[in-house]
Structure formats: C-alpha cells, structure tokens
Amino acid sequence: MSARQAARVAVLLPRPLSRTFDYRVDRPVPAGTYVSVPFGKRIEAGVVWGSATGEVPESQLRNVLGVSDLPPMTPRLRELLGWVASYAMAPLGSVLKMAIPVADALMPARAATGYRLAELRPEGARLTPARQRVLAVLAGAGSAVAGSEIQRDARVSAATVQRMHRAGFLALEPLAAATLSGASHAGAGPDLSAAQRHAAETIVQRVQARDSRPVLLGGVTGSGKTEVYFEAVAACLASGRQVLVLLPEIALGPQWLARFEARFGTAPARWHSAVPGGERRRTWRGVAAGTVPVVVGARSALFLPFPSLGLIVVDEEHDASYKQEDGVIYNARDMAVVRAAKEGAAIALASATPSLETHVNALEGRYHALALPRRYGDAELPDIEAVDLREHRPEAGSWLSGPLVDAVASALERDEQALLFLNRRGYAPLTVCRTCGGRIGCTACSTWLVEHRRNGVLACHHCGHRIPVPEVCPTCGVADSLTACGPGVERIEAEVRRRFPAVDPAVMTSDTMRGPADVAQLVRSMEAGATRILIGTQMAAKGHHFPRLTVVGVVDADLGLGGADLRAGERTYQLLTQVAGRAGRADLRGRVLMQTWEPEHPVMQAFLCGDGPGFLQMEAAARADARMPPFGRLVALVLTARDQSILERFGRALARVVPPQEGVEVFGPAPAPLGRIRGRYRARFLVRGPRDRRLQAYVRTWLGSVRVPAQVRIKVDVDPYSFL
C-alpha cells in the first residue's frame, strides 16, 4: 500500500442546512472537490467545503465513499453560492442543491457507446408509441445517448432500443461530450447596421477585457438584439471561454435553437425542466469538464459549474419567470450580475421592455445602456389601436368585438395569419349557479375552480385539485343550472370555430403544449401556413417569429391591471408590447387591436402611443414617491399554518416584537390576498427600508427573537415579485 495520508475534510450536503459534516478521505483533496459520502443510511453527493469542524472523534469519523473525476467546484462558484444563501436568507445546503441537481452526474459514465438517429428513417417500419418516444428523446439530443439513458427517458425496454437499432432507426456512435469545433463558430453573422455594430463591439470589448459591468441591450422587438449578442457569443468562444444564455423557459423553443445552430453550426446544450435526465447528466458533466462551450437555459442554469465563464446573456431580462418562488427564493437576473462579477465575465441584459429596476440602473449609470432604435430592414412596428368595448360591445356569449372580427377576416382573405391573445387558461374562470348564485371553489384553496371543457373538469390552478364538471349545483342541487362565466382561451377557440367554420385554429397554452415536441409541431404548422388563427396565453406571446402573422387581437387588455401588485402596470405594458411584437415581423405590415374597457388608462395610453420611455418615467416617479423598489427595498414574510387561529396568534406575537429601526417600516400581519393554498392559511408581513441598506440582518434579528411554533412555516422573500 502506498503511504498516502488520510485527511479530515468538511463536506457540505445538498440539504436545507448551513453546516458541514466531517469525513475522512484517504488522500488530501482540494476544497470544491465533489464527493459521495454516507449520511444516515443514505449515500449523498456533496462538496468539500471550508475547514473541518473537528466535532466528531477520529474513531467515529466515516469515510468519503467516492471522489469525483471532475475538476473541483471553483472558488468563484462557491463564493456565489455563499452570497446567494446570505442574500436570499436560505440555508447554504439548499443553494448547493441547485448547483448539483443531478447527483449521479458526479461519477463517470460507464457506457462508452450510445445511439443517435440514423440518417434515413427505414421505410415501412412500424412506429409504435414506444418507438416514437425513443425518436423524440434522440431528436432532442445534440449527440449520441447511452442505451440506459434512452430506456429511462423514453420509458422503454433494452429490447426496444436494440430492435430499433437492428431495424435501422438508430446508429451506434462513441459517446462524447458535445463540443463546438473551432471552425464552426467562425461562421460569420449578417452585416450589421451601424447601431448594431456599435452595440456588438461594446459587448465584445467587455468580453475581451473581462469587464463585468452590466450592459443593457435595449431596442424594440425585431431590432436585432439577438444578432448583436450572437457576435459577443462568437467572440467569447473564440477566446476559449464558455457562454451562458439565460432565457425564460417558454421562449427557449425550437426556433431559438434552430437559429443558434444556423449561426454556429451546432446546437447549444439546453438546460431547463423539460430536458430529460440523461441529457442533463451529460450537460452537467460537460460544463464542469469545460467541454460544453455554450449553454442556453432557464434560470436554474445560473448555477452550472462553468470553470471558465466569459459571457452571460440574460435575454428578456424583465421576465418574471427569472424569479424563483419556491425553495430558495431568488432572482436569476440579479444573481447573474453577481456571478458575472465573481467570474470576471461580461454580462448583457437584453429586453425590448426593460424592467424598471434595470432602467433605473441604466439611468443612474450603473449599467451601460445600448439601444437599437428600429426594427431591422423593412419591417415596421405594427399599427396599434384600442377597441373601446363600451362602443363595440360583443354580443352576449361572445368575446370578440366587431372591429376585431373584421380584422381577422381580412387577414384571412389576404392569406395572412392572426393571433388572438388572452392570458387565461381553460374555458371559463368561474362557474356560477343560476338558481342559488353559488360559485364553485377549491376545497383546499381560497380560489374559484377553472373550467377546462376539453378535459371535462373544473381545476384549481394553485393546487391541481380537479373534479368532473358537475351536472347539478353542489350547493342547491338544482340540475342544469351551472353556467360558465367569462372567457378563457378554450372559449375563444369555440367562438372562432363558430365564426370562421372553415378555419381550424390552434391553441397554445401550457395545457395543450405538453412539451417541446408539441411546440415544434405547432411552430411548423404556423410557418407552413396550415394554421391560420393561433389562440394563446403568454406562451404564444414570446419569442416566436411568424412572417405571415399580421393581425394580433388582445382579447382583454385590462386583465392584469387589477389587484394591488406593485408591478401590475409595468407587467401589463411589457406583456402587451411582447404580444404586439408578434405582428408584422417581416415585410407585411402588422396591426394590433386591443380590446379594452378603459382606453384612457395610463398604461393603455402609453402603449397606444408607443411611449415606452415616458411610461417608465411615470412609473419611476410613482415608485420614488412611494419609496418602493428600486427606490426602496422590500422583504416579504409569508406565514402559513393549517390552523387559522394559530396563524393569527403567531402573527400578532411577531408584530409585537418588531425591532424599532430608523427608516425601516413593517406592515402587517395581513391576511394574504390568496388566503389559503393547499389547506394552509396564509398571512403576510411586508418590510420596507431605504435603498442604500440591506434588510436581511434586520429580518434575521427580528425572527431570531421569537420561537416559531412547529405548525407555522415562514417563507422569507427578499425583493418580492408576488404579493398574493
């Protein structure tokens, strides 16, 4: 035996704890090393972290079971995790969990060969559902996939995979991490306009200088922001460093990937919730080993173990989906800025409708603002008009006004396409009894059930509870008395079928699109012109580029303005702009019709006049007045308990021990607008403080001064986006 020296190390585990545990390892390993260790009766993945606590006597010390072959987690990423834990007031181990989400990726793969799709699909062979699943798994993979992973991701047997190989569907190939060869990223982009070139050069320069001061890349939809940051991606790859592009999950569709591939010759690695396990494992390992050069992903990609990150792009930076609301509550856009600073990476935030936070950062010079003034080429911004529903009231049981119906009809006559946008899933948001007036609510939440006629159910959008659509009223027992109130997209679909019987509309929502394959198929159908009317929620509002789509109808432009949400106006403005941005993206002129009961509302006025800057200015003034973000800081506390009286008692107890501090105000406890979810009652506190002072220490002191009853849970939300 060699005389290697055993050592004691501290290991951080991906559990909701901040502390580390000591283990013995048979040779000294550097901090950041990925290891597997016994914990209780289980084996866990962890990371060597800080110095040993020395708590456990040598005789009881357990052994590290495995040391990963991957390079250790960099000090920069470890620092980031610590920073996020302290900012978000979350246990360090919970933050680590986001950074090692695929525990089995730490150790090397066994299989050396895998399968990819054959160049030609064999003719006449049967395509069973199982075989289709295999094809779908491989179609989404950038490189060969191990047989065991295909079995797991497609839920098929080994025999199915082997038979498909023999039948000629699949080809064998050595397994390799995805790489972009030197030649492929040399592919030149289009000739840029002067404004585009200036913007691209600025970001490229920051990549080269490792300058992580954020850049805001603004400009209307279609102005070429993507082309501009592609230049920076190319420059970063040329310098041999890795790139991370963050996108909201629903914008991360096949069109974006195809566009990237057309420019760079290879698809980037993808990272989001729908990516199958095998691909996640390969991507995570490839990123850690430095062999995956580009990742495009949703917010969770922020914690991937890049050893040499040169550029982060946060596209659609204003999008609320960057805020994670469960577990560790954090905003990936803000944390991306922190990661870039720690990595010495350049960072660009792109948006046609920047968030007020980013806008103010740019105004005050913390972010460098670049703006692309116009749509590229001959494409012009669409004409935007309000349809005043007080004048053009749709007939009973209809939701589309005369002017909107006419506009859609004339688009169809010109062989163009229309999009009808309504940000509401299902058939109807409310079911009411005509006899007793009763409404059907969720048994576990303080919400009304939403009818999904397609599936014949009433469903709760908060807990997933569903019941068959009842035939008699559950309250009064009268039959055939229940009526659907208000429209969801399914109801708009029914109206379109009634009005345009020759057209087969498509519906794009999270209910109808089960995964990327469904989206890809719908996108193809739009591109081929087979789908002529698209009806959708915000899923249809983002990112897509359909050259023949010329009419966009916003069924209910006022939706979203109600409620007491701090960002209601800002969000409505952003969403309307996104939707409008789908119209007339190529050489055909687009037209946007917004149905509204309140055309004089400031948000509608700003939108109608295309006055984004004016709107932001007005919002900024109002927020500054109210000392709301970004001119003040907020921390929300959400208390929940199954027992309402325990919740109320604890809320009062907490209110009694609010520590006095100059400039800090505490509001609450107040019953939350969503008073109950999944059987738990909810109450809220809101802490407001000055912008130049963090509130975390204050909140820690406050919460540290009470004993929290076992029945009560407290969620701390720093920089809250949701006020429900």
- Interface residues with ligand ADP (CB under 6 A) are 190-193, 196, 219, 221-227, 376
487 binds, among Zn ion, ligand ADP, none (CB under 5 to 8 A by kind): none
DSSP state of 230: H
User: Is the Cβ–Cβ distance between 173 and 116 less than 8 Å?
Assistant: yes
Of Zn ion, ligand ADP, none, which one does residue 512 interact with (CB within 5 to 8 Å by kind)? none
CA dist 525 and 531 (Å) reads: 6
Rounded Cα gap, residues 300 and 79, in angstroms: 17
Per partner kind, with CB cut-offs from 5 to 8 A, the member of Zn ion, ligand ADP, none near residue 463 is Zn ion
CB of 468 to Zn ion, least distance (A): 16
Q: Which is nearer to Zn ion, 235 or 442 (CB)?
A: 442
Distance of closest approach, residue 202 Cβ to Zn ion, in angstroms: 49
In 521-664, the DSSP E strands lie at 533-536, 549-554, 591-596, 632-641
Question: Binds 145, which of Zn ion, ligand ADP, none (CB < 5 to 8 A, cut-off by type)?
Answer: none
Q: Considering the complex, what minimum distance in angstroms separates the CB of residue 558 from ligand ADP?
A: 26
Tokens encoding 157: 């047997």
Residue placing its CB nearer to ligand ADP in the complex, 79 or 527: 527
Through-space distance between the first and last CA atoms of the chain, rounded to whole angstroms: 63
Q: How far is the CB of 539 from ligand ADP (least distance, A)?
A: 17
**Binding partner selected for residue 465 from Zn ion, ligand ADP, none, CB under the kind-specific 5 to 8 Å limit:** Zn ion
- Closer to Zn ion by CB, 46 or 429: give it: 429
Provide the minimum distance between the beta carbon of 458 and Zn ion in the complex, in angstroms, as a whole number.
11
Min dist CB 377 to ligand ADP, Å, is 6
Decide: residue 50, CB within 10 A, 0-12 exposed, 13-18 middle, 19+ buried: middle
Q: Where are the alpha helices (DSSP H) in 141-265?
A: 147-154, 158-166, 194-209, 225-238, 254-264
Subset of 687-716 contacting Zn ion (CB under 5 A): none
CB 662 within 8 A of CB 447: no
Q: Which stretch binds Zn ion (CB under 5 A): 300-308, 433-441, 445-453, 629-637?
A: 445-453
Q: Which does 221 bind (CB under 5 to 8 A by kind): Zn ion, ligand ADP, none?
A: ligand ADP
Among 96, 445, 492, 636, binds Zn ion (CB under 5 A): 445
Q: Which tokens sit at 180? A: 């972009």
Residue placing its CB nearer to ligand ADP in the complex, 44 or 317: 317
Question: Nearest approach, Cβ of 564 to Zn ion (angstroms)?
Answer: 22
Which C-beta is closer to ligand ADP: that of 256 or that of 284? 256
For 174, 492, 494, 504, 540, the CA distances from 427, given in Å and listed in that order, are 49, 8, 9, 18, 17
Rounded least distance, CB 469 to Zn ion, Å: 16
196 or 417: CB nearest ligand ADP:
196
DSSP 498: H
Q: Which of 177, 289, 338, 463 binds Zn ion (CB under 5 A)?
A: 463
Interface characters, 405-444, with Zn ion (x: CB under 5 A): -------------------------------------x-x
Show contacts of 522-531: CB within 8 Å, 24+ apart: 523/253, 523/254, 523/255, 526/417, 529/415, 529/417, 531/417, 531/504, 531/505, 531/506
Nearer to ligand ADP, 219 or 689 (CB): 219
Cβ contacts of 541 within 8 Å, gap of 6 or more: 421, 423, 575, 578, 579, 582
Binding site partner of 460, from Zn ion, ligand ADP, none, Cβ cut-off 5-8 A by kind: Zn ion
Q: Which of the listed partners (Zn ion, ligand ADP, none) does 222 bind, with a CB threshold of 5 to 8 Å by partner kind?
A: ligand ADP
Q: Which two tokens stand for residue 433?
A: 């009894």
Question: Token digits for 82?
Answer: 């610590």
Q: Which residues contact 508 (CB under 8 A, 6 or more apart)?
A: 519, 522, 534, 535, 536, 537, 539, 540
Using DSSP's 3-state secondary structure scheme, residue 383 falls into strand
Min. distance of Cβ 466 from Zn ion in angstroms? 9
Q: Is 565 exposed, middle or buried (0-12, 13-18, 19+ CB in 10 A)?
A: middle
Residue 674 is a binding residue for Zn ion (CB under 5 A): no
CB of 549 to ligand ADP, least distance (A): 14
Smallest gap from Cβ 257 to ligand ADP, in A, equals 14
Q: Which residues contact 443 (CB under 8 A, 6 or more apart)?
A: 465
Shortest Å, Cβ 259 to ligand ADP? 7
Shortest approach of ligand ADP to residue 299 CB, angstroms? 19
Q: How far is the CB of 350 from ligand ADP (least distance, A)?
A: 7
Q: Does residue 296 bind Zn ion (CB under 5 A)?
A: no
- From the number of C-beta atoms within 10 Å of its C-beta (0-12, 13-18, 19+), residue 325 rates as middle
Of 93 and 222, the one with the shorter C-beta distance to ligand ADP is 222
Residue 376 binds which of Zn ion, ligand ADP, none (CB < 5-8 A, kind-dependent): ligand ADP
d(CA 560, CA 450): 17
The reply to whether 465 sits near Zn ion by the rule CB under 5 A is yes
Neighbours of 168 (CB within 10 A): 14
- Partner from ligand ADP, Zn ion, none contacting 368, C-beta within 5 to 8 A by type: none
> What SS3 class is residue 624?
helix
- Cβ proximity to Zn ion: between 45 and 445 the closer is 445
The closest alpha carbon to 214, from 200, 199, 203, belongs to 203
* 225 versus 318: smaller Cβ distance to ligand ADP: 225
469-487 burial by CB neighbour count: b if 16+ within 10 A, else e?
beeebeeeeeeebbebebb
Number of residues that bind Zn ion (CB under 5 A): 7
**With respect to Zn ion, which residue has the nearer C-beta, 32 or 671?**
671
Q: Which does 442 bind (CB under 5 to 8 A by kind): ligand ADP, Zn ion, none?
A: Zn ion
Which residues of the shown chain bind Zn ion in the complex (CB under 5 A)?
Answer: 442, 444-445, 460, 462-463, 465
